[in-house]
Structure 1
Amino acid sequence: MPNVRYWSAAVLLSGLLGCARPAVPTAAPVPAPQLIGHAGSGFFTPIHPFNALPPSSRAGIARALAHGAAGVEVDVQLSRDSLLVLYHDVQLANMSTGHGCVSQYTAAELTALHYRGPWPYRWLHDEKVITLDALLSEWAAGPEFPVLHLDLHEADACLPPTDAYRRSPALVRALARTLHRYAVPARHLLIISEYQPTLRQLRRALPGVPLGLEITEQFDERLPAAAVLGTEAVVVPKRLITPERADHIRAIGQQVVVFGGRSRASIERVVGCRPDAVEIDNLRVMQRVLTAQNAARPAARPLEATLRTKSGH
């Protein structure tokens, strides 16, 4: 997901106060959200929780699934030779032994790079950059595909801003080929983009696959586009979600997906907004919060099931 951006103090305060409890009390218990590992096990963090594994790395993905996540969200970029690589940041130097952008190197060159990260995390893992093919080939050998949220990082920082999305059509074509190659069930997928032309192309290239419009700023202005695009979900950071905004998302027939959440307080606030799924950074605390809030709460209805029902697939 994109790095956190500034937002007005008024909106943040409203969220902190408003999401802690449902805006309107309900007699019936609310199903728990589906839990998705955010970039696998999250980002490099010293506490809440301690995590030394790189985002979207093989070990981070495995940890999230081992700890009970229904699936993972990973960040997808396009290599110079049009293969899909899992890497979060726009610059390789931020988190790996490489330099420049993903788009400037072949997949073979990128997968030779070691994740680095700040001290002391670099000494606590031996992870390398991986491709989406590598992940899916491992999952295809298992009994069932986990849920997979694919967050498309399309804006190329090594191109002029006016040309930053030039390779988005190639990314969509590569993604369609890869998902078909491994026969990934549509019900286990959510493909996320903030770039509307990409979502329109994805709808044509992958009919029946659930799509999510990511909104990280200008929520009120951008939300109506989800109804026009015919996506299945709206994906927002925890700093933007409020009960009112969650209701607005549902009112246009969209699922509510929230990303982020490490501290218990922030996780309780997000849960209070009743999302359908959370791409969570602190899975263990989220699980404890859900258990503590309502031991009798009904089992979560999987996000992919609700999306499948809505789209008729």
Structure 2
Amino acid sequence: MVVLFFVYDAVRFSRKMHVLTSEQKNVQIIGHAGRAFFSPLNPFNPLPPNSRQSLLAALHEDGADGLEVDVHVSRDGIPILYHDETLNTMSEGKGRIEDLLADDVLRVAYTGGWFYDLFHDEKLISLEDLLREIPKQPEYPYLHLDLRSYNPSRNAFFAQSVMRLLRKYHYPLKKLSLVYYKPDLLQAFRDVEPQAKLYLDISGDFEKSLKTVLGNRLQGLVADGKHMDAAKMKLARYYNLKVILFGGKARNTIYKMILLQPDAIEVNNVKAMRAMVR
């Protein structure tokens, strides 16, 4: 029955989808935490977000133009990839990464429950683990760093730790986007690297968020595709802001985001989006 539903959904979608213009197709496809989140169906994904295999599969197998990763900084200044606020949710560890030493976090095993754990053996990795893989790509992929910090007193330390590592690997600034939901941490990155591209992760009141973006001279905004529409997009473009949308596993949802013509989509189903814009 489930298979029949997905076949019907695919046929219905193909009938209603109009041919995309070259302008609409000109959007960066960013793997949301790699292959995104645990998913039992359509697409089946047993890989944890931000895990090594998830990130590399999005690039090598799915055709992503880049990756969105969630970056914490350990107590001793090591940028580590993990999505949630605490390790309790998807790993065998406990607590916030920023309160722990890197040696106590790295190589901690991911867990998504018995079903998903049958299909993976992933452990937490550092941002440096990912950057070591980048030279193996034909060219640098776009890299969106979704910053995870919970202590404003560490802002300068956080920014210095991340930028020091990126400079070590000579990551081009034109391929980097730094994202946070408050301007204070983004300002700390500007202090360390004035040319960094800074984006506000917005939710709730769009006009209030827009004022924050403009008041802090940020380059753009990141928004859930479900909460964005043509009017909001037009307003952002009026102020020459870049727009990144995220989400989208179902083809219909991805298609609606593409029609809005954002600069990039951090998508939960890279393969489906790549098929639409190829």
Normalised by the shorter chain, which TM-score bucket? Answer: 0.7 to 0.9
2:81–2:125 contact (8 Å) kept in structure 1: yes
Shift of 1:287: 2.0
2:156–2:189 contact (8 Å) kept in structure 1: no
Is residue 249 of structure 2 the alignment partner of residue 255 of structure 1? no
Shift of 1:31: 4.3
Partner of 1:106: 101
Tell which has more relative contact order, 1 or 2 (C-alpha 8 A, sep 6+): 1
Is residue 71 of structure 2 the alignment partner of residue 46 of structure 1? no
Is residue 71 of structure 2 the alignment partner of residue 70 of structure 1? no
Partner of 2:176: 189
Shift of 1:283: 1.0
Q: 1:90 to 1:207 in 2, by over 3 A?
A: same
Q: How far, CA to CA, are the matches of 1:34 and 1:28 in structure 2?
A: 13
For 1:239, the aligned partner's letter is K
1:21–1:269 contact (8 Å) kept in structure 2: no
Shift of 1:60: 0.6
Partner of 1:130: 125
What are the residue-to-residue correspondences of 1:142-161 with 2, within 5 Å? 142-155=137-150
Post-superposition, which runs of at least 4 consecutive aligned residues in structure 1 deviate over 4 A?
26-29
For 1:107, the aligned partner's letter is A
Q: 1:107 to 1:27 in 2, by over 3 A?
A: closer
Which stretch of structure 1 is more off in the superposition, 98-107 or 59-68? 98-107
Q: Among 99, 113, 116, which residue is 1:118 paired with?
A: 113
Q: Work out the number of aligned pairs and report it.
A: 261
Q: How far, CA to CA, are the matches of 2:140 and 2:276 in structure 1?
A: 27
Can you give the 5+ residue segments of structure 1 that lack an aligned partner in the other structure? 1-19, 156-163, 292-313
Secondary structure of 1:279 counterpart: strand
1:123-181 Cα deviation digits (max 9, x unpaired): 211111001111112214555321110000112xxxxxxxx433222111101211111
Secondary structure of 1:166 counterpart: helix
Q: 1:141 to 1:256 in 2, by over 3 A?
A: same
Q: 1:89 to 1:29 in 2, by over 3 A?
A: closer
Partner of 2:9: none
1:21–1:272 contact (8 Å) kept in structure 2: no
The sequence identity of aligned pairs, in percent, is: 34
For 1:136, the aligned partner's letter is L
Secondary structure of 2:152 counterpart: coil
For 1:258, the aligned partner's letter is L
1:256–1:276 contact (8 Å) kept in structure 2: yes
Q: 1:122 to 1:248 in 2, by over 3 A?
A: same
Q: How far, CA to CA, are the matches of 2:198 and 2:243 in structure 1?
A: 12
1:192-250 Cα deviation digits (max 9, x unpaired): 11111111121121122211111022222111221222222211011211111111111
Q: How far, CA to CA, are the matches of 1:142 and 1:108 in structure 2?
A: 28
Q: How far, CA to CA, are the matches of 1:28 and 1:179 in structure 2?
A: 33
Shift of 1:36: 0.4
The normalised TM-score by structure 1 is 0.78
Q: How far, CA to CA, are the matches of 2:90 and 2:25 in structure 1?
A: 37
For 1:127, the aligned partner's letter is E
1:21–1:273 contact (8 Å) kept in structure 2: no
Q: How far, CA to CA, are the matches of 1:238 and 1:284 in structure 2?
A: 18
Secondary structure of 1:93 counterpart: coil
1:75–1:88 contact (8 Å) kept in structure 2: yes
What CA RMSD, in Å, does the superposition of the two structures yield over aligned residues?
A: 2.1
